Amino acid sequence: MNATKALYETDFNLWLKETVNLLRKGEVEKLDLENLAEEIEDMGNSRKDALESNLIRVLQHLLKWKYQPQKRTNSWKASITEHSLRLNKAFKKSPSLKPYFESVFADCYQDARLITSQETGLDIATFPDLCPFSQTDVLNPQYLPED
């Protein structure tokens, strides 16, 4: 077992620091390639998880805004804006995430529908089976659905 591989098991932060140093020095032969590849893959998965989380959150608040007009709050409006902006920033940093967004949009809507039903106490049938908001709407930080 090489020294950096042992560090991975005992001190992750030091492993990161040492890995960066080795990369910068071009000492590839000393790298813990197996764990480095796994960590890079995990980074990509974390970005996808964050994208899904932000998408679900904006959809939740759009549903609440549309189907509970009597309970609208500035907090909901701010959440819609915040999470839409986060999605847009993610695409700016990583444009290749856009097809992933498109592929999980319908599933995230179903998750948001279920969560919103539980959160509001409204029957899930209150919310349409198909998302009433376009992907363009969701990515518009100023979009608010009409009643």
119 is a domain residue: yes
Residue 87 maps to a domain? yes
* Domain region containing 86: 50-138
Residue 63 lies in a domain: yes
* Residue 4's pLDDT band (cuts 50, 70, 90): confident
> Is residue 96 situated within a structural domain?
yes
User: What confidence score (pLDDT) does residue 42 get?
Assistant: 87
C-alpha angle 143-146-147 in degrees, rounded to nearest 5: 145
Classify residue 19: in a domain, yes or no: no
User: Per the domain annotation, does 38 fall within a domain?
Assistant: no
Position 127 in a domain: yes
Express each pLDDT in 46-95 by its tens digit. Answer: 999 999 999 999 999 999 999 999 999 999 999 999 999 999 999 999 99
Written as one letter, the residue type at 31 is: L
Global pTM value: 0.84
Domain count, the chain: 1
Model confidence band, residue 1 (pLDDT cutoffs 50, 70, 90)? low
Indicate if the pLDDT at residue 7 is higher than 80: yes
Listed in sequence order, the residues at least 6 apart from 66 whose beta carbon sits closer than 8 Å to its beta carbon are 132, 145, 146, 147
